[in-house]
Structure 1
Amino acid sequence: MLSAKFAPAERQWTVCLPLTPDDSELLPLTLPSALTHTSAATPILLLAVGGDPKSWQQIAFTSPRIELALVTKSTDPWQAALRELPPHHAERDLLLLRPGIEVPPGWDTRLALVMERQPAIAAAVPLCDSTSLIALLEASTVTQNNFERVDLFLRAYAPRLDGEIPSLFSGCCYLRRTALQILAPEIAAHPAMAAGEWCQWLAQAFREWGWSTTACHHLYVLDHAPDRRRHDMCAIEASEEARLQERAHPLLGLRMAVREFLDRGDPAPTEAANPKPIQLHVAHSWGGGLDYWIRQYCANDQIRDNLVLRSIGTWGAFGQRIGLYRSANMDRPLRYWDLGLPIRATATAHLQYQAILREIIADFHVEAIIVSSLVGHALDVLATGLPTVILAHDYYPFCPAVVIYFGEVCTACDRQRLAACFASNEQNRFFRNADADEWLGLRRRFTKLAQTDSVRFVVPAPTVAHHWQTLVPELGNTHFTVIPHGLDFAPPRLPNPPAGDKLRVVVLGSLAPQKGRALLEKLWPLIAAQVDLYLIGCDEDGEIFRGQPGITVIPRFDHAELPAKMAEIQPDVGLLLSIWPETFSYTLSELWLFGLPVVATNLGSFADRIEDGVSGFLCEPYPEALADRLLAIAADRACLIPLRTWATTFRHRSVADMIADYHALIPLPAFSAARYLSPPGPLPIESTEPHALHVDTRVPFSEVLREFGEYAGRKLIDTPRLRPWQKRGLAALLRLILSTAIKLSRLRVKAA
């Protein structure tokens, strides 16, 4: 498989439990939570100081995650942890955990994130009630249930503060390896001490080198034996610094909030304590299959929240405005930005767009990006450093025509061919105010960014990767992952069609030039005598066929009504006429889900997905080849029986399965800096958008005019400010203006 997962760089640390024979009865109180709640990549080391090696080995054998090391030189546990770690742990940060301490979910990662955020911190400890220095509650009041609820409360609501304290905590402490290395000579020369003395000495030594020790106000551990080890911290609590801090303790407000939370018996804030990761989808606002994919993804992702960043504009300037939406629905934007320098196609670099990206990533804590289209955007979106997926719904931005078709499917495109494409390719109609030299520069930067470690390509079918590799050899095989689209559409299977003189053929969806409108114009005269043709959802592109005998034209339909329309037509076969290599084709999926045999051009994903003669018929993309196949079917309907049998058993992969593949490709940690250190609040309901009218720019202009007319008509009827004759006159004038505007919007203008 042409795939590779992202491997985000993380701090590396070892969880170390220094043990003496006296700790054997406390270890069962710690080890289960450490095994369950420590991140999977973190090794857990039992460092045994004295005792029976066989008994320690029996404990270590309880889990493959546990590593055992027997100390031979040191006489106290902390001395052993600081001096006698096995070599493969000696370069890692050190997380010391005393037996008897129970830890909550993600405890090690949460401490590591603090160290990542604050380079001046040498040691970080959680809150714990076994010492007043970092206590939230009276230790005697804490139960197992309280412990879990308090940690959830802190994760959800505690400010991400790291309060400086005068000493380490002997029960649990994260030590930065860089700081330990600086102190290595002094540590090596220091005599054995009790754990509390090590805590004081290390904190003082760190301060002399300009480092600090902090308590994390957002992490809480439970000490099951506070009295047994309390003497570790007694001298520290009696120190002058501790007494000064206790006068106005930085935890006073948090202590009060936690007590009130427990006294009220409020439910644990599980959802608030576990905010979902945020993904950012980047797309245009043209609609089509790309938009359908985003809507399916956003509606079905139960694990991550998905924001959508859309470019909004018009022909010649597709990026005039950038809008951020809470989902695939283009309702009220969360934020929008009007670009001072509009983007005609795709900008190689854009200063304001870079600032927009920084703002979104910082304010909404975005952790991953999925780019469905770069139309109206800047290539800067590929350079954020976040895990970024380019989903190849088409062949843009390499191809300004989007569909790699110029008289034939393109296999190469040098400057000369690109210049000719801009001059005379019917498919190259979107970016007429660009030129070949500008596009070559766009290609070069895109190719360079697409090869960075933070970027991966996803393709819905293997042929898509083949075309990209052929046209852009620099990308290489390892940059592609095949993830077929999911679909949860489940219409009733169509019954076998009734016998009839003519073959009933349905063309479902767009008849835009790349979808085969010109091919159908040439094909129809060859099959008209034997075929009844149904064009469903062809929009204005099907108007040239309206009124022709044997052709039924249904320009638009509500997708929810499609099963009823198909049942009414009772087609024999579906026809797919794309002249470009489709990257997936939801239309093919839907025809199969209806149980319908298909005839398709042998290009792109059609060739990937259809087994000729088994799941459909593949034809060369020429009218004669398609006519021969359709006429043969019309003469012998029995050839459709095995295809119909195959189609009735077809099951599409679900959207949930597709999303799981994307999550596997872009793994995000349970606790990340973006979510944990700056937990996002709920997304705002109201928009900063000042306009009274919000238009979904994916909807055809004629449909916008129609809906506006309905709204304005209702307002005229309901308003008490106008007399009846005024309402009638204004309503008639409005109908006339809108009717004329709709007719003009549907006129097809041909170039001279």
Structure 2
Amino acid sequence: MLHRIRRLFGIYAAYHLPEDSAHPRRDRLLLIPPFVRAGARAFPHAIRWARMRDPAARARVKQLLDLSGPAPLALDARLFEPPSAGPDPQAVTIVMPVYGGLPLLRQALDHVVRHTDIPWRIILIDDASPDDVTLPFLRDWAAQHPAILLENAQNLGFVGSVNRGLAEAMAHPDPVVLLNSDALVPDGWARRLLRPLLEDARVASVTPMSNDAELGSIPEPGRASPITAEEAAQIDCFARETNGVAWVPAVAGVGFCMALSREALEAIPRFDEAFSPGYGEEVDWCQKTRASGCTHVYVPNLYVAHVGGQSFGSAQKQALIQRNSAILTRRYPRFDAEVHGFLRRDPLVTARLALGLARAEVTRDAPLPITLAHSMGGGAETDLQRRLHADLERVGHALVIRVGGMFRFTLELWTRRPDGGHGMTAAGTAEWDHVTRLLAPVTQRALVYSCGVGDPDPITLPDLLLSLRQPSDRLTVLMHDYFPLSPNPTLLEDGEHWRGLPDPASTSPRHETRRPDGAPVPLSVWRATWGRLLYAADRVEHFSRASQNLTEAAYPGTPSDLRPHALPVAVPPLPRPAPEAPCVLGILGSLAPHKGAALAEALSRETGRNRDCSLVLLGGIDPAHRLHAPARHHGRYDVGDLPRLAARYGVTCWLIPSLWPETFSFTTHEALATGLPVMVFDLGGQGEAARAAPNGHPVPLDLAGDPGGLLARAISLSQDQT
């Protein structure tokens, strides 16, 4: 028992010890008290896992010990509160520096005229535009609108032009909005942007969400993404339905569209010209005003398109960013750390998900893929990543709703980036209502059930998933395991024994579960509930004939489809060992109890007595078990390294010791691809694959209790390399 606790603490420390710890031994000791407290809470669930092999109990242990990887951020429930009306601003003064770029300038001014919902004036500063069309246009436009045109005799740069505009703006009594000539404001923008200034005297600046607004970028902070004016207007329609007071304090605003309070401008009326011609000046102003007690906020209920980055060419822009960032670092040594801290806790993540899903709706080329998945890795995760990659190439966006992590539901919004890479924004919640609210903009959905193992109340999952379905939506169920057939996804009985498909009337504790309130869920209720999902599906996808037969026996007449997996990485065949080569039995895979962990331990003991065959494990093993010398344990491996590792250890024969009827066994197919003899127990997808391959050798399941007999088979197969 002490050995297991030590191993578990080692895993806990690996998850929780800071990577950059200057004192790892001290910090490791400091983890002991929280480990003990979490372990005490997890103990009853650990007992249930040990006795019943209930996957929900195992997931709860991982959750309480926080062993599910980096914790996602929590959704901010304030965003889902109904929008409310704020105070009415009297007027607004807009400051817009201009340097050429007439086509975008026309759009920006047109949006101001059509969409500003309060009295306004605009101060235009022509910074000696390099063409002969921009200034004449501005003179004509200013004569027809409430505008003041300032003409720089020579180029002052962005900072110098802004300062001229701010000086003019202070002659008027209204809040000021700094607006780029490539920013397209949506209908009704001014009230939403100015509201924090009117409701909180401490707020010095307000920045909206955008496709390109540094910390306020959607769907990923710090990453610009292309958007059209029409798409931006549609996204803003969804933004304005969110709570208008759920604004978020940040370390700085972004000057492309930034409201500035008069009080802050009276204290610091100019941007510092050390940042001329531009970039970083608004950050400097924000830090100076923060020092006097002001705050800077983002408003998630306003989305403004930033379509250009027009002020400078990209090479010049990068040089300016590098130079001015160095100035900021010298002046404000903690600023970079504060930005990283903001991103780690990302209080804007709910807005990123909400508006990111709205963006997915207005830019998608097909129904949005929405997959319910677990958090436990393995073959289901490998398949999910493959499908995600294809979905992102085809649709551009995809949503994964994970169960079994720190939150009951963790939403991952995946997006194809302009450079072809993939980005992901994630947050968690315990409330299904938050999930449905976030998905409200999405009118066409391609729903996929991947795996629900690990959810604390899995009997509710079928109806929750069905509640997302709209009349025209397609639903696919993937049979990665037998969770839709039993709360025990392996279907094994006590002692990890295979007794066949359990009858719905079974009273075996391995095939029942309990709800969080303690109410029992017998197998008959489980089958009836999950049957609703399978019979409602457009397709139930199987990866082996064996899995298909078991599922159809439980749910006859479901829309069944057989689609075996392909290996994600090709494994080249290995040279045949010489007949006189010593027998080395290789075991592949991560060995949980149902995957044969106890058998691997028994085989390691047997090789200590029978020196005619040695043993090597490529993969992990359940903490309750370990290999005994002289057996070797390599640990985790990459499939691409399999030929090298097999040669290194001299493997002459493989064993896949899985004791349950796998729906598909990646490790079996990997082993078969090497060309070496492969032993599997004759059941499920692994037996099916072995029977179909010339080097496959299905063996009776009874041999799981006879490690000596298995070693004798391995020796015989290793010598018979014909």
TM-score in same-fold range (> 0.5): no
What is the TM-score with the length of structure 1 in the denominator? 0.41
Larger Rg: 1
What is the TM-score with the length of structure 2 in the denominator? 0.43
